[in-house]
A and B are shown apart, each in its own frame.
Chain A
Amino acid sequence: MNKAIVDTTILTDVLLNSGEARSNANNALKQYSQTLLPVYAIKEFKSGPLKNFVWMHNKFALLGSYEKALDALQRMSRTPKRYTTSTAIQALKEAAGSIAKVTAGNLVDKYGEGATYDRIQCDELRLQIKIAIIKAWKKRRKVTTDIVCPLTCYKEIAPFEQRGLIELGLSECDKSNKCAMATLLMTKPDDLRLMRDAIVQSDKPENKRRAKILRQLYRTPKVPIENKDCRKLGDAIFVFIAPDDAVILTTNAVDHIPLAKAIGKQVVTPSEFIH
């Protein structure tokens, strides 16, 4: 099998991540002669990781202080993986490789506040995040060999700048159009049922929500689904639209495997290609 459908986690690692995660994702993509990216992944990417990057950029831009922006980031990151968060925040506070570390102190006399340690670090990271956002958007359709499953209800609006902040524009689907993804999913109600049955007993809240929408799609196909429902489907969409001769390439195997097994599809992670 030399074809892979790429999910949002891989797209994100290639476009926004750095270091090992990015090189692993790129390496995994190289293993396949044909790689497919559904437009749904772009939609998910924009309303998820890209939105977080935009938030961080705007925080730096508004606060104009590295220290204050890091405090805001730390407060937002109080997730169960707190240890990882505190380690990352500590590394950010140290920022050993920052350009500020080699900027002479006397430059403050010449350039004013813009040459202070805090301000330099703030702009340094803000600009890197801004580059990442614009670069990611420019390259989003170049990550794979093919773009598949266009969404007639979704417009890919590029991020833009307004009053020094980055705006993402509309990230939701056009409500006047019928949900293109729901229309496609309803062509195979048996697959929807099998996927729903595979996750309905799961303890994960996201699986419970997904199971509910899947059921709605095959039980009451005439009831239109909302934009938030489309987002809740998430991993089920990649599994569903993966061609029979393609693997599903993702870093989130845990959530994809039960769905994929239910309809006879295969999941592969980039770590499988690390020797």
Chain B
Amino acid sequence: MLKLADVLDINDYISYPTDSTGGDVLKEIEKSGFRSTTPIMASSSADEPSIPIRELYPLASEIKPELSTALHLLEEGIEDINISIKMLMENDLISSDDAIQRFQALLPELFCCRNLGDGFGAIVNAIFHSLKNLNGIPASLEQLKVIQKITNRILTEPFISFEEAVDEIILFDTVELISESDHFKYVADLLIE
């Protein structure tokens, strides 16, 4: 028998479908200020979007040429990151690092597509400096996974808001990736009295 003042947690009364194999699990879309009950199917690999990204932006090249270039470069980059992760898990450090170097080489051109938005530009810039600040030391698996996640995010949401981009970049701190350029410290020094 419940007393009048008891607080009920609705989660205690809802059963979520689970799949112990880690395969297709029904998920809810959750975003700040928006909550949908429409289930979406996660792809077999959590890192790959289920719908080819080009289908989401079929007129990209006509409407915004930078979008088309960015999507093309990001697809190529994600392939490199996936290879890097796979090679690292197979203990092939050279191949892993080589793949991430190829991804790194795409970033300056990706940064030229920054008029897609400050969120996009901030993420590309943060990835570039995070990798550069490793000073040639190969990225760890955790670091690669964070980079993979954030790169996937801008592939599926190239117009990501700045606030959301910052939330993603904050995750870099958790895996000891430094996303500021080396010269940022000088400007910080001058601005902090």
Given contacts A102-B108, A127-B121, A131-B122, contact A97 B190 (CB under 8 A): no
B189 and A88 within 8 A (CB): yes
Given contacts A73-B187, A127-B122, A130-B122, contact A111 B166 (CB under 8 A): no
Q: Does A143 contact B (CB under 8 A)?
A: no
A99 and B191 within 8 A (CB): no
A265–B186 CA distance with the chains assembled, in angstroms: 34
A18 and B188 within 8 A (CB): yes
Q: Does B169 contact A (CB under 8 A)?
A: yes
A45–B113 CA distance with the chains assembled, in angstroms: 34
Q: Does B179 contact A (CB under 8 A)?
A: yes
Among B12-20, B32-40, B124-132, the stretch in contact with A: B124-132
**Residues in A123-149 with C-beta less than 8 Å from chain B:** 123-125, 127-132, 134-135, 138-139
Interface size class of A (residues with CB under 8 A): 35 or more
Which applies to chain B's interface (DSSP): helix, strand, loop or mixed?
helix
Among A48-56, A197-205, A219-227, A228-236, the stretch in contact with B: A48-56
A97 and B187 within 8 A (CB): no
Interface size class of B (residues with CB under 8 A): 35 or more
A105–B5 CA distance with the chains assembled, in angstroms: 69
Number of CB contacts from chain A to chain B under 8 A: 128
A97–B133 CA distance with the chains assembled, in angstroms: 9
Q: Does B181 contact A (CB under 8 A)?
A: yes
**Residues in A86-134 with C-beta less than 8 Å from chain B:** 88-89, 91-92, 94-100, 102-104, 107, 110-111, 114-115, 120, 123-125, 127-132, 134
**Residues in B162-191 with C-beta less than 8 Å from chain A:** 162-163, 165-167, 169-170, 178-191
Q: Does A169 contact B (CB under 8 A)?
A: no
A98–B186 CA distance with the chains assembled, in angstroms: 13
Known: A85-B190, A127-B114. 11 other contacts (CB 8 A): A52-B191, A55-B191, A56-B187, A73-B187, A88-B189, A88-B190, A91-B186, A98-B183, A104-B109, A111-B66, A135-B169
Q: Which residues of B contact A (CB under 8 A)?
A: 66, 107-109, 111-115, 118, 121-122, 125-126, 128-129, 132, 162-163, 165-167, 169-170, 178-193
What 4 A-B pairs are tightest by C-beta distance, nearest first?
A97-B182, A103-B108, A88-B186, A52-B191
